[in-house]
Structure 1
Amino acid sequence: MEKKLGTGEPNSIQDWFRQRNGPLYAGNFPWCDATITWAAVDSGNYNEVCFGIDWAYTVAHAARFDLAGQWTPMTKGVQGTGIRRGDIVFFDWNHSSAIAAIDHVGLVTGVSGDAVMTIEGNTANVCARRVRYAADIAGFGRPKYKTPPVKTLPAVSLAHVLAAQKADTAGAQGSALHRTEGRLLENALKAKGLLAARWVDGSLGSKTEDAYSEWQKAYSAKHNLGWTGTDVNGKAGMTSLKALGAETGLFRVVA
């Protein structure tokens, strides 16, 4: 929906809808629900928001939510109904909660007290953000959005890192006691711009230790932590290792 903010008319949403649904939608037709349909398709939520149907008629769209048992009339106020971000909100400018009286539709982007923040197509002939209140809201449909899979980050063991820092530094060039975890650590330092790609080989030798030290100093300064001495000597600790993993999003830390 944010991609279309500021869109006037006639516009690409109308063209897109007409190409999919034919000359019945010629000219400058009302496009508020066509905007919801476009956004649903573009975001990969077509079935969840539109039930596999392109909508231009808001009454029919709301009725489809009702048929699916996913409709809540605005009869208990904003707080009482629990309207929330992601809901498809339908409006009746004559202040009823009747589906047959619906005039307009938008997407809820947030709720603050009794105010409902939205993005709407075809509001004063543009796509814009609005703040709405219960009196104008007939009700809302709640799509059954897909739950995104939880991303499990690869694990880096602090004990393995410490052992590798000791063994790899003392061993031959390129020695790697725990190469897979070493690469994860080195890729994080590379992402911070502190380690050249040619040293990302899983061997936690002096180059990696120097880069880790530079990261410790930079992180301490950024967050006013006052790390000194052994806190910034390039040796891993649970606090710093977790911080590096969290800051780069490349690994999680286990003992």
Structure 2
Amino acid sequence: MSLEGMVKAVERWIGTGEPNEIQAWYRARNGALYNGNFAWCDATITRAAVEAGEYDNVCFGTDYAYTVAHAQRFKEAGAWHAMTNGIKSSGIRRGDIVFFDWAGTSEIGTIDHVGIVTGVSADYRYVYTVEGNTANVCARRVRTVHEIAGFGRPKYKAAPKPSTTTGSNSSTPKRPQVSLSRLIKASKTDPPKKGTPVSYPLAEVVEDALVAEKLLAKSYADGHFGTATRSAYSLLQHRYGYSGKDADGTPGKASLTRLGKAHGFDVVA
């Protein structure tokens, strides 16, 4: 994806408390060492990097829960910037992976926490971030230079260039094209499974629409058409006036087309 894809992937988890899906996902990948309510700030960065297709650039192909090790890896890659010259002089910017030391040092070995930068104030007094596991939730924060130990700068993929066509609609972005057949298959194969990998990534477009309809919790909009999503789609079908087998949570062309018209996606075979 890109820098913006990474920021969006972290922002998707805003409001998440604990215990949570990020912890369960990380535990499933890394074992019983991560049982219980472990610190999940860097697991949030790892999860977002996987979702954004920036895993190699942000995490160097490694899952991180230990912030010190992650910062050290940025240093080994020549992408570490210690916060020793102030916010303006450091050049910290949107998309940087920012590491914190509550004692106010710039030493990697004493790092306590991590997040992603979403912006910097015009007067360079504050850095705006999104952080997992801050006061036990994922949330936006405003940080000062004293709290920042340094930051890593991933080599993000270039943002895709917008497609251009001739005619009066050349500036109109293409709407997501959701495959009905692939979505139906996901609705039948995903529920017995948990978490990633997902069967059909564009299922997340439908889940976002169900969230907007207030039928699905935002935490379940992950592209995995699991039990919660199927139940939410069943509620949608009932809302549209369907019943029986027509409201069992398996997407149908009429209901999906109606949902797409309301939430900005098209339905294809």
Query: What CA distance in whole angstroms lies between the structure 2 residues aligned with 1:188 and 1:102?
Result: 45
Residue type at the aligned position of 1:123 = T
CA contact (8 A) 2:164 2:171 kept: no
- Matched with 2:109 is 100
1:67 to 76, 80, 103: 76
Residue type at the aligned position of 1:134 = V
User: Are 1:132 and 2:140 counterparts?
Assistant: no
Normalising to structure 1: TM-score of the pair? 0.61
Output aligned runs, 1:59-208, within 5 Å.
59-112=68-121, 113-155=124-166, 184-185=167-168
Residue type at the aligned position of 1:15 = A
1:186, CA displacement in angstroms? 7.8
Query: What CA distance in whole angstroms lies between the structure 2 residues aligned with 1:24 and 1:34?
Result: 13
1:150, CA displacement in angstroms? 2.4
1:2, CA displacement in angstroms? 1.3
The residue matched to 2:118 in structure 1 has which SS?
A: strand
Query: What CA distance in whole angstroms lies between the structure 2 residues aligned with 1:5 and 1:34?
Result: 14
The answer for unaligned runs of 5 or more in structure 2 is 1-9, 175-269
The residue matched to 1:4 in structure 2 has which SS?
A: coil
**Greater C-alpha Rg:** 1
Output one character per residue of 1:16-74: Cα deviation in whole Å (capped at 9) or x when no partner: 00011111100000000000000111111111100000000000000000000000000
Output aligned runs, 1:15-30, within 5 Å.
15-30=24-39
- Structure 1 vs Structure 2 CA RMSD: 1.9
Normalising to structure 2: TM-score of the pair? 0.58
- Matched with 2:48 is 39
Query: What CA distance in whole angstroms lies between the structure 1 residues aligned with 2:18 and 2:152?
Result: 26
Query: What CA distance in whole angstroms lies between the structure 2 residues aligned with 1:62 and 1:127?
Result: 20
Output aligned runs, 1:190-229, within 5 Å.
none
1:154, CA displacement in angstroms? 2.8
1:148, CA displacement in angstroms? 2.2
Residue type at the aligned position of 1:32 = C
Output one character per residue of 1:178-214: Cα deviation in whole Å (capped at 9) or x when no partner: xxxxxx448999x9xxxxxxxxxxxxxxxxxxxxxxx
Residue type at the aligned position of 1:92 = D
1:149, CA displacement in angstroms? 3.4
Residue type at the aligned position of 1:7 = T
Query: What CA distance in whole angstroms lies between the structure 1 residues aligned with 2:114 and 2:57?
Result: 16
CA contact (8 A) 2:129 2:142 kept: yes
Query: What CA distance in whole angstroms lies between the structure 2 residues aligned with 1:127 and 1:37?
Result: 14
**Count of equivalent residues:** 162
1:15, CA displacement in angstroms? 0.2
For the structure 1 residues 154 and 116, does the alpha-carbon distance in structure 2 shift closer, same or farther, using more than 3 Å as the test? Answer: same
Query: What CA distance in whole angstroms lies between the structure 2 residues aligned with 1:11 and 1:97?
Result: 31
For the structure 1 residues 22 and 75, does the alpha-carbon distance in structure 2 shift closer, same or farther, using more than 3 Å as the test? Answer: same
Query: What CA distance in whole angstroms lies between the structure 1 residues aligned with 2:109 and 2:17?
Result: 27
